[in-house]
Structure 1
Amino acid sequence: MTGAMEIVELTDDFYQDPHATYRALRERGPLHRIRANGVVGWLIVDHEVAKQAFAEPAISKRIGSPEGQAVLAKNGAAELFNTAISDNMLFTDPPQHTRLRRLVAKAFAGPAIRDLQPRITAIADALLDDIGERTAVDLIDSYAFQLPTAVICELLGVPDADKADFRSWTAAVVNDSATLEERTAAGISYLTYLSKLIAERTDDPRDDLLSQLIIAKDHEDRLDEHELIAMLLLLLIAGHETTVNLIGNSVLELLRDPARAERLRTNPEAIPAYLEEILRCHGSLHVATVRYTTAPITLGGTDIDAGEFILISLAAANRDPARFTDPDRIDLERPESRHIAFGHGIHHCLGATLARVEGTIAISRLLTKFPDISLDGEFSDLTWRKSLLIHGLTNLPVRPAGPAESHPVSDADADRRPLLV
């Protein structure tokens, strides 16, 4: 039972080299009791057991429910979540999850996503033009953060005059080092603005994701305004964090291996395969968003009581040697790996396709523009965010080192180049 296994403390050293901890834990078994930042839970480090946990009906995601809140309080996480964050599709179970996903899935497969590639390319090029005017920049702040934020503005149809405010609110909402007051003020401004934007799009639909979500229906069922705002907040936080760190982690590995960077620059068709390996080997998340047991279960040969946190380590599962040959190595020729960086089963990330498109364009345009980009400093000086959820750098100082030949821009592309305010 839960009291029979010792609790493993995850110290600050864990965040700087998590895979050393994961390897040591995996040798002792598929799951372990851990404590991190005061939070206690069961950490799964095995690929097969992780997939079982994703599908286990006695494991719930309803952390906003009274039962979920009780589990948060019991395991030291009461202050980490609130209903404003948890009241969305990500933190629901069937049948509510089934209903919400069915309503929004068509919008995420529609023209608002499909036709966005030229705009993402134009946005990336504009950001890189600005970076090229500087000797050294923080690539996280100047590129990895700016690109998905601008793309979200495009998806929602945020007018140019409002983009500066929207980006400042976004920066505060997703900044885990901002004060509670700063995040609260930004969240209020953000939610107020979204309500206004929803009203405008309801009266005047356009070819953007927000309009598609407003009109999405299943027979007579639609998203109400509360559900729309919750969905947009999920898009902002979950989608944004995934893409920022996918870009940042991808660039870091290219800086470590200039030969691979040159290979991808001259053979951009290999970039999608590279990104899949980054997702598997250096993904944006340590663990999947929290779950808890609603009844006693047996998982990976271990009995677990009801009311326990279940933390599925995507990072550990995706380097499980029982599932992947030579799992710590980036292998562009690796056969279809079926990693679980975007989750598994009914909660597989709806934004996975968009994240892959953004990541592919971001890396392709960066390598074309700056073939000699280099780290501005020492790799040993880089630090990782102290988050059990997010696996991302605090910053990534680089020297563009001079652009390559100017990339050709067609007249059509020139017309689409964004004005970044």
Structure 2
Amino acid sequence: MSERPVLLPYTDPAFVADPFPLYAKLREDGPVRHVLIGGGLEAWLVTRYEDALAALSDHRLSSDVRDASDTRLLQQLPETERESMLSNMLRSDPPDHTRLRRLVSKAFTARRVAAMRPRIQDVTDRLLDAVVESGHADLIADFALPLPVTVISELLGVPVDDRHDFQRWTDRMITRGPELPDPAVVNEAWQHMRAYVTELIGAKRQDPGDDLLGALVTARDEEQRLTEDELIAMVFLLLVAGYITTVNLIGGGIAMLLAHPDQLDLLRSDPGLLPGAVEEFLRYDGPVNPGIARFAREDAEIAGVTVPRGATVLIASAIADRDPARFAAPERLDITRQDNAHLAFGHGIHYCLGAPLARLEGQIAIGTALRRLPGLALAVAPDELPWRPGGLRGPEALPVTFTPGG
């Protein structure tokens, strides 16, 4: 392993558009690589599948950023609201994580999610109705974004008309690029978000309704299973996590098909391949990139490399999911792939709670778009597509043309 950390060049548009050649080299050079990520932060990148799988369940690796030795990570969170933002499932470990996850897990069971299929289909068709006659669209702004926002808003009981506000605040809080985010901008966005969530909670206290947010308020007020900070953090997490990665799954999946015409033709000819196609999109170029951050509670040996206490460990699912030791021809998009145990949704106790919902939305959205938009093609050259710079990967816009009228 090299002594000097390797820079992940998020200032390089070519890397942002296609980071996988560098990822492959990092994986070939060693199972754990010392790297520099956005803003000069150091991390230990776990690059190979078996090591990444083990690291996702390693009790020596914490989800709590307070275990990180680099104080800049904590300073990225708004100072006055730090405790609130740290009180969610993604940033907690057992026993708090177990208690918090149990409160919402019933809303995301496969059976509950399957019952949402008609409504997801209805929203999908309505969004496509609005563009189908024009023969052109931005499938992010017009389709991939409003679909999951509408679904999670209805599940929680949040007014869909408010989506533009919380989407804007979310972008300011979680968007990552070459430099560290401005703490003042993050703090202002969180204050707006907290005020909004507090108002929602107040409205639910007056009229709980039959939705997930009403159930969480009851758990806080009547059952004492949540603190107020935990309640606010839970609502924030569900709002944000409930849509942002699914936007990238839908938009990224369509972009992958347009870049691989043979796979597009195959899926059009056999829609029964859709479930497997979505799994392949998640493996080949998933919405979390390069992976999932953990923090070493102690000096820990991973794949023969000693990672120091307090270090940021970046479990690189995007790199591991193209590991040739685990997947045959991993650099090839193959929607018929059978053995596809990818790590895009994580693994272990932090496995993505919303995975069944994301899968269903992806299948319905992509399948319906292919059916209703004949002649679908990019309106720009593939290398002109703008991609998110880091952390959450997907096209920022997806301009397309198609035969008007569907």
* Same fold by TM-score greater than 0.5: yes
Check whether the contact 1:108–1:209 (CA below 8 A) recurs between aligned residues.
no
Q: CA deviation at 1:54?
A: 1.2
Structure 1 residues 290 and 187 mapped into 2: Cα distance closer, same or farther (>3 Å)?
A: same
Inter-CA distance 9–301: structure 2 relative to 1 (3 Å threshold): same
For the residue of structure 2 that corresponds to 1:190, the secondary structure is helix
Which residue pairs with 1:300 in the alignment? 303
Shift of 1:336: 3.3
Aligned residue number for residue 396 of structure 2: 394
Distance in 2, Cα, partners of 1:77 & 1:223 = 26
What is the aligned partner in structure 1 of residue 170 from structure 2?
173
- Give matches, 1:145-156, under 5 Å: 145-156=145-156
Structure 1 range deviating more: 235-244 or 165-174:
165-174
| CA deviations over 1:368-398 (Å, ceiling 9, x no partner) | 21021110011121232211x1111222111
CA contact (8 A) 2:17 2:386 kept: yes
| Structure 1 residue runs without a partner (length 5+) | 405-421
For residue 336 of structure 1, what is the aligned residue in structure 2?
Answer: 339
| 2:214 paired with 1:207 | no
User: 1:311 Cα deviation (Å)?
Assistant: 0.4
Structure 2 match to 1:107: 107
Match of 1:194 among 189, 194, 197: 197
CA contact (8 A) 2:156 2:212 kept: yes
Corresponding residue number in structure 2 for 1:381: 384
Change (3 A) 1:189 1:308: closer
Deviation per CA, 1:162-200: give whole Å up to 9, x if none: x33333332342253898777655543433332233233
Instruction: Flag the 1:183–1:166 CA change in 2: closer, same or farther, 3 A.
Output: farther
Rounded to whole Å, the distance in 1 between the matches of 2:312 and 2:363 is 35
- Residue of structure 1 equivalent to 2:315: 312
Q: Relative to structure 1, is the Cα distance of residues 252 and 191 closer, same or farther in structure 2, using a 3 angstrom cutoff?
A: same
* 8 Å contact kept, 1:172–1:182: no
How big is the shift at 1:203? 4.2
CA pair 185-128 structure 1, distance change in 2 beyond 3 A:
farther
Deviation string 1:140-177 (CA, Å, 9 cap, x unpaired) is 12111111111122112234xxx333333323422538
Aligned residue in 2 for 1:10: 8
In 1: Cα distance, 2:396 partner to 2:405 partner: 25
Counterpart of 1:413? none
Equivalent residue of 2:70, what SS? helix
Unpaired runs of 5+ residues, structure 2, are: none
- State the alpha-carbon separation in 1 of the partners of residues 113 and 217 from structure 2: 15
Q: SS in structure 1 opposite 2:59?
A: coil
For 1:80 and 1:290, the matched residues in 2 are separated by 15
Is the Cα contact below 8 Å between 2:291 and 2:318 reproduced in 1?
no
Cα deviations by residue, 1:92-130 (Å, 9 ceiling, x for unpaired): 111111121122212322876443221111111111111
Give the counterpart letter for 1:30 in structure 2: P
Aligned partners of 1:206, 1:328: CA distance in 2, in Å?
A: 48
Name the amino acid aligned to 1:28: D
Q: Is the 8 A contact 1:319 1:327 kept in 2?
A: yes
Task: Check the 8 A contact 1:112/1:155 in 2, yes or no.
Answer: no
8 Å CA contact 2:23, 2:319 repeated in 1: yes
- Check conservation: 2:294, 2:312, Cα contact below 8 A: yes
Task: Render the CA deviation track for 1:239-282: whole Å, top value 9, x for unaligned.
Answer: 32210110111000121234433432342221110000000111
Residue equivalent to 1:417: none
Stretch moving more, 266-275 or 331-340: 331-340
Q: Is the 8 A contact 2:149 2:242 kept in 1?
A: no
Structure 2 residue 325 is the aligned partner of structure 1 residue 325: no
Contact preservation (8 Å) 2:110, 2:356 = no
The within-5 A match list for 1:115-154 is: 115-154=115-154
Q: 2:76 aligns with which of 75, 80, 95?
A: 80
CA drift of 1:221 comes to 5.3
Identity %: 39
Contact 1:166/1:190 (8 A) holds in 2: no
**SS of match in other structure, 1:174:** helix
Structure 1 distance, partners of 2:183, 2:330, is 39
2:41 corresponds to: 39
Contact 1:216 1:222 in 2 (8 A): yes
Residues 275-317 of structure 1: per-residue CA shift (max 9 Å, x gap): 0000011100113342111111110111121111100111001
Q: Could you tell me how far 1:204 is from its partner in structure 2?
A: 3.2
Q: Which amino acid aligns with 2:214?
A: S
For residue 244 of structure 2, the aligned residue among 234, 241, 244 is: 241
Change (3 A) 1:154 1:210: same
For residue 352 of structure 2, give the secondary structure of its aligned residue in structure 1.
coil
Q: Distance in 2 between matches of 1:365 and 1:212?
A: 33
Deviation of the 1:342 alpha carbon = 0.3
Whole-Å separation in 1 of the counterparts to 2:223 and 2:193:
29
Residues in 2 aligned to 1:360 and 1:99: alpha-carbon distance in whole angstroms:
31
Is 252-261 or 38-47 further displaced after alignment? 252-261
Q: In terms of mean alpha carbon deviation, does 220-229 or 41-50 score higher? A: 220-229
CA distance in 2, matches of 1:79, 1:52: 29
Secondary structure at 1:290's aligned position in 2?
A: strand
RMSD of aligned C-alpha atoms?
2.6
Q: CA separation of 1:137/1:257 partners in 2, compared to 1, >3 Å: closer, same or farther? A: same
Q: Is 2:263–2:335's contact at 8 Å kept on the other side of the alignment?
A: no
C-alpha displacement of 1:51? 1.4
Question: Which residue of the partner structure matches residue 414 of structure 1?
Answer: none
Aligned length: 391
